[in-house]
Structure 1
């Protein structure tokens, strides 16, 4: 998530919709007091520096334990991936108690409660994705992070709670619907589409007067055999799991099943 006081916008980071690419692309243009939760490890990896808001969050009492580990890692080994991950975790820890247990992807209602002035006066936007694609991307992400092998059908059963395997399910919410709606009503000013990502992002930069020109920074690589067509991953049972898990999004955007 981003709260930009400089450009007066709120970016709601939906799961598996190129949110990290959007944030790392926007980061060089943000102000010193702008808040970004998540993806700071990627910012540092690309040679970026933390702004004042991020440094302040790291030294909040809720984040101190993780911040100390990050500083110790820096003193011992310098700029390592562990150091960057700890910095990212420390900033998230600052917001976890007040915003959401997974503050990178908080519900819209929580954002409104914590940032009432900004919610009322800033331009709010997000990006969404075909839930059948999103579930597959989530599968790839969880398999890579858990370093385990499991099939797509098993993963969907775990998402649905039929299999007790929390090690392969995401923290926080599964569906993105609560991230951009309040009381089941869309609460943001603009919803971009993953299928039209570059064009919609370029429109937003122009709308918000952000001086970015060109393409988004490279997205995280998905490794779930994307040479296969979407339909090849689904049968009637798998499609039904996704339809139930993401029902409100599927109904609102009138998305057809790939099976």
Structure 2
């Protein structure tokens, strides 16, 4: 999530919708007091530096234990991946109690409660993705992180609770619907689409007055792009499981089943 006082916007970071690419692309343009939760490890890895808001947040009482570990790591070993991850974790720790257990992807209601002035006065936007595609992206992410060999069908069963496997279910919310809705009503000013990511992101930058040329930083997207088409991953039962998990999003945006053949 980003709260930008410089450009007066709130970016809601939905799961598996190129949010990290959006945040790392926006970071060089943000102001010193703008707040970004998540992806700071990637900013540092790309040679960026922390702004004043991030440095201040790291010394908040809720973040202090993790910050000490980060400082010790940097003192002993320099700018390592562990140091960068600890910095990112420290900032998330500061907001975990007051915003959400996974503050990178907080529900809209929590953001509104913590930042009431910004919520009422800033431009709010997010990006959404076809849940059938999103579920596959989540599956790939969980397999990489866990090192497991489970298949996609098993993964969907774990998400729906048909099998119990806490090691592969994502942290926080599964559906993105609560991130940009309150009482089942969309409350952001603009919903971009993953399927038209570059076009929609360019429109937003123009709308907000943010300098943007070229493409989003999408190395991760390209690296893990699937070689099989979406319909090759699904059968009727898989489609039903995804519909049960993401029913609101599928209904609101009219996402089609990957098994439907377009004429």
TM-superposed deviation, 1:70: 0.5
Indicate yes or no: 2:65 matched with 1:65.
yes
- Give the alignment of 1:140-155 within 5 angstroms: 140-155=140-155
Distance 1:218 1:42 in 2: 12
**2:200 aligned residue:** 200
**1:182 aligned residue:** 182
* Contact kept in structure 2, 1:10 and 1:119, CA below 8 Å: yes
* Contact kept in structure 2, 1:20 and 1:219, CA below 8 Å: no
**2:96 aligned residue:** 96
Stretches of 4+ aligned residues off by more than 3 angstroms: 221-225
TM-superposed deviation, 1:224: 6.7
Q: TM-score, normalised by structure 2?
A: 0.97
TM-superposed deviation, 1:223: 7.0
**2:53 aligned residue:** 53
**1:245 aligned residue:** 245
Distance 2:161 2:250 in 1: 20
Unaligned runs of 5+ in 2: none
Indicate yes or no: 2:113 matched with 1:113.
yes
Q: Alpha-carbon deviations, 1:50-87, whole Å to 9, x = none?
A: 00111111111111111111111101110010000000
TM-superposed deviation, 1:164: 1.3
**SS, match of residue 171 in structure 1:** coil
**SS, match of residue 100 in structure 1:** coil
Unaligned runs of 5+ in 1: none
* Contact kept in structure 2, 1:140 and 1:223, CA below 8 Å: no
**1:79 aligned residue:** 79
Of 210-219 and 168-177, the range deviating more from structure 2:
210-219
**1:3 aligned residue:** 3
**1:24 aligned residue:** 24
Distance 1:157 1:98 in 2: 32
Distance 1:33 1:123 in 2: 17
Q: Alpha-carbon deviations, 1:7-38, whole Å to 9, x = none?
A: 00000000000000000000000000000000
TM-superposed deviation, 1:163: 1.5
**SS, match of residue 127 in structure 1:** strand
**2:158 aligned residue:** 158
TM-superposed deviation, 1:219: 3.9
Cα RMSD of the aligned pairs, angstroms, is 1.1
**SS, match of residue 168 in structure 1:** coil
Q: TM-score, normalised by structure 1?
A: 0.98
**SS, match of residue 27 in structure 1:** helix
* Contact kept in structure 2, 1:18 and 1:219, CA below 8 Å: no
Indicate yes or no: 2:61 matched with 1:40.
no
Distance 1:207 1:67 in 2: 36
Distance 2:195 2:18 in 1: 11
* Contact kept in structure 2, 1:73 and 1:82, CA below 8 Å: yes
TM-superposed deviation, 1:222: 7.0
Q: Alpha-carbon deviations, 1:112-133, whole Å to 9, x = none?
A: 0000000000000000000000
**SS, match of residue 62 in structure 1:** coil
* Contact kept in structure 2, 1:140 and 1:222, CA below 8 Å: no
